[in-house]
Amino acid sequence: MTQETSKGPNLAMDSVRVTEAVALAASRLMGSGDEQAADKAAVDSMHAALKHLGIDGTIHKGEGAEGEADKLFNGEKVGNGAGPEVDVAVMPLEGPTIVAKGEPNGLSVVALAEGGDFLNVPDLYMDKIAVGGGLPGNIVDLDADPADNLKELAKAKGAGVNDLVVCILDRPRHGELIGKVRETGARIMLIPDGDVSGVIATMWLQSGIDIYMGIGGAPQGVLSAAALACVGGQMQARLVIRNDGDRTLASDCGITDTARKYTAADMATGDITFAATGVTTGPMLSGVRYARGIAVTHSLALRSKTGTLRYIEAHHDFAHPGNIK
């Protein structure tokens, strides 16, 4: 077993502190009905927190191109410069609408790639299928029928198809997929938003989710791949090209083969560190809770170098001058 050492910065824990800061700020807007305010709070707090992270970082997948985004734009330098050179992928808040409505699955996410990078994808749709670690290779296939994928997954898990839970975004575009899954007898968890949360939940037995299927955001797909790459999870994904405009956006990112089927390893390479903190409660993480001047956050930290998944529950005393009020 690979042992972690105390030499150098602890990027996993330091990255968690970044997502904790975002969750604390964004959670104050839960149920406010103001998704723009929730998003701004998340972006501002992540931008500020990343300044203190011990990295020489460059945003690879952020809030958009320079000029389109004031903060966390692609190519922006982040970190204090006192650590390793890393590519950075961020999602300050998966689900401004989630938080504004007080719905489940709100997350703050950051991923770092040392000695590697993240697939450059446009802000388009991406078709995905994902399972957790500890399974035979190529157990599922994006191009296979849902019934075949579920049959193979059930066999590998020593379960019946009707024991499996499939996580799918609750969207009209998934009507046919949902129908096919129901025909197999498998159970379904429909989520209103938050497909990063849905994908990474496949990594953890206690989440109750066995497999993720369906179309979500491409940037979310890259971040999900980073998490799965840390623990041996499997994912296949393909951009959804609806028109010539989508094809141009893909070309601008250097993607010429729009029919290519990507694996997690294609989308996130190098020594990956992944951190996420719950803003609102989902299958993997609890949302921020407040009581008597204390805020409780629930986070996870992943490292591909060691294959570790750590849960971190932190209690933040708002009387302390170093904490966000």
Could you report the per-residue pLDDT of 134-175, keeping only the tens digit for each? 999 999 999 999 999 999 999 999 999 999 999 999 999 999
The SS3 of residue 20 is helix
Domain final residue, candidates 267, 287, 307: 267
CB 209 within 8 A of CB 250: no
- Give the pairing of strands 262-263 and 234-240: antiparallel
pLDDT at 8 (0 to 100): 46
**Are 230 and 145 within one domain?**
yes
Please, which residues bridge with residue 107 across strands?
A: 94, 278
**Are 55 and 69 within one domain?**
yes
Would you place residue 318 in the very low, low, confident or very high pLDDT band (cuts 50, 70, 90)? confident
Of 49-53, 89-93, 273-277, 306-310, the poorest mean pLDDT is in 306-310
Of the candidates 231, 230, 235, 193, the one whose C-alpha atom is nearest the C-alpha of residue 213 is 235
**Are 76 and 47 within one domain?**
yes
| Residue 324 pLDDT exceeds 80 | no
Would you place residue 201 in the very low, low, confident or very high pLDDT band (cuts 50, 70, 90)? very high
**Are 140 and 220 within one domain?**
yes
CB 88 within 8 A of CB 223: no
User: Global pTM?
Assistant: 0.91
**Are 177 and 96 within one domain?**
no
Would you place residue 10 in the very low, low, confident or very high pLDDT band (cuts 50, 70, 90)? confident
Would you place residue 229 in the very low, low, confident or very high pLDDT band (cuts 50, 70, 90)? very high
The tokens of 214 are what? Answer: 């369906």
Measured between alpha carbons, how far is 62 from 314 in angstroms, rounded to an integer?
26
The tokens of 48 are what? Answer: 């500020």
Q: Which residues contact 175 (CB under 8 A, 6 or more apart)?
A: none
Q: Which residue segment(s) compose the domain that 178 sits in?
A: 125-267
Q: Does residue 119 lie in a domain region?
A: no
Measured between alpha carbons, how far is 274 from 200 in angstroms, rounded to an integer?
11
Q: Does residue 97 lie in a domain region?
A: yes
* Mean pLDDT computed over every residue of the chain: 93
Number of domains in the chain: 2
Strand residue runs (E) in 115-179: 125-131, 165-169
Measured between alpha carbons, how far is 213 from 167 in angstroms, rounded to an integer?
6
Q: Does residue 279 lie in a domain region?
A: yes
**Are 263 and 144 within one domain?**
yes
CATH number for 168: 3.40.190.90
Give the angle 175-177-178 at the CA atoms, nearest 5°.
65
pLDDT at 321 (0 to 100): 47
**Are 256 and 131 within one domain?**
yes
**Are 179 and 239 within one domain?**
yes
**Are 43 and 19 within one domain?**
yes
The SS3 of residue 92 is strand
Measured between alpha carbons, how far is 60 from 286 in angstroms, rounded to an integer?
28
